[in-house]
Amino acid sequence: MIIDAHAHYTTAPAKLQSFRARQIVSQARPGPANLNISDEELEQSMRGQFKRMDDTGIDRLLFSPQASAMGHHFGSELISRHWSEACNDLIARIAKLWPGRVSPVCQLPQSAGVSPGSWVEELDRCVREQGFIACNINPDVGGGREPLTPSLADEWWYPLWEKMVELDIPGTIHASASLHPAMHLTSSYYIGQHHNAAVELLSSRVFQDFPGLKLVIPHGGGAVPYQWNRHRGMHVREGLEPFEEAARRVYWDMAIYDTEGMEMLIKRVGSDRVLFATEMFGAVNAIDPKTGRNFEEVVPLFEAVPGLSDEDRYNITEGNAKRLYGLP
């Protein structure tokens, strides 16, 4: 069994983006969405994902709204809430239509300059009323501009960690749109933000204060495994716990499209801390001229990782996700 811990709804019907566009027009008097999307439209929008799953042997998606479209920098707290509700409600419907294939992961109604305490009501609604099993957390709410977001190490975030522990809900750190003109969104901003999230969290006292908190760093941790000794050295220099121990306080997803990268990640954080992940359809939805396969076809890349035991492979594709998300 293969569980894909990182897939986004990047193929939603245009009606969803039409509502988003209307949010620009009606920014001064925002209202909730009324999307009027049929089950048939949802089915059409999911055909690509299900075909990829069938073709490559993926059994279940942890499925969340499109990350770049979360756009928490835009508009007021209420605009962000209406948008998040619309996106999450679609994910909930898809998970109810295909319970055997899709597990729902929500976005949060984050809004720049607004305390995390204001985001937890939507998380509660998603989990208790709609059966969501995890959430995505944008570590850079304003997209790199003012008001700048405090470090994930900061107590500013604690109301969110408290709620996640109360609900026993894991979260994946995932940035959204960037307002920086000099950064490529998926090739650079995401990599830098998710690397940074690992650095901040693993050098913090967050896991002392919230021993039950479950967080996932996506995209193989940015540069963390490759720059491993830089992080080890920083932890020595700053008197922190050994970095190789700190690194095991979180999970790391394997959406890196690269056999050697996967090998390095698994070797460094341990096979019991890695989650199989494709991020389909995401940053590199294109055919690799070297293999003739889509870059996001992660299964054969993972199969080629040398030196893994059956237990390692079980952990990464199934066991870790079942344990982390409480899946049957």
Which amino acids are annotated catalytic?
279
Q: How far is the CB of 151 from its own copies (least distance, A)?
A: 4
Q: Does 295 bind its own copies (CB under 8 A)?
A: yes
- The length of the chain, given as a count of residues: 328
| 220, 252, 302, 316: which one binds its own copies (CB under 8 A) | 220
Q: How far is the CB of 66 from its own copies (least distance, A)?
A: 16
| 56, 103, 203, 271: which one binds its own copies (CB under 8 A) | 203
User: Strand 102-106's sheet: what is its strand order?
Assistant: 3-9, 60-65, 102-106, 134-137, 171-173, 215-217, 251-253, 274-275
3-state secondary structure of 173: strand
3-state secondary structure of 82: helix
Q: Does 143 bind its own copies (CB under 8 A)?
A: no
- Write the binding mask 177 to 196 for its own copies: x where contact by CB under 8 A, - elsewhere: ---xxxxx-xxxx-xxx-xx
| 100, 289, 292, 306: which one binds its own copies (CB under 8 A) | 289
Q: Does 148 bind its own copies (CB under 8 A)?
A: yes
Pick between residue 167 and residue 284 the one whose CB is nearest to its own copies.
284
The encoded tokens of residue 235 equal 């932890």
Pick between residue 60 and residue 268 the one whose CB is nearest to its own copies.
268
| 144, 170, 171, 218: which one binds its own copies (CB under 8 A) | 144
Task: Enumerate residues 6+ apart whose C-beta is below 8 A from 95.
Answer: 63, 102, 103, 104, 131
Q: Does 30 bind its own copies (CB under 8 A)?
A: no
Q: Does 288 bind its own copies (CB under 8 A)?
A: yes
Q: Does 87 bind its own copies (CB under 8 A)?
A: no
Are the CB atoms for 109 and 101 separated by under 8 Å?
Answer: no
Q: Does 228 bind its own copies (CB under 8 A)?
A: yes
Are the CB atoms for 167 and 123 separated by under 8 Å?
Answer: yes
Residues 283, 143: Cα–Cα separation, whole Å: 18
Site size toward its own copies, by CB under 8 A = 62
Pick between residue 29 and residue 237 the one whose CB is nearest to its own copies.
237
Pick between residue 137 and residue 191 the one whose CB is nearest to its own copies.
191
Gyration radius of the chain's alpha carbons: 19
3-state secondary structure of 122: helix
Strand partners, 253: 275
Q: Which amino acid is at 100?
A: G
Residues 220, 266: Cα–Cα separation, whole Å: 9
User: DSSP state, 38?
Assistant: -
By CB under 8 A, name the binding residues for its own copies: 139-140, 144-146, 148-152, 154, 180-184, 186-189, 191-193, 195-196, 199-200, 203, 219-220, 222-223, 225-234, 236-237, 242, 256-258, 260-261, 264, 267, 283-289, 295-296, 301
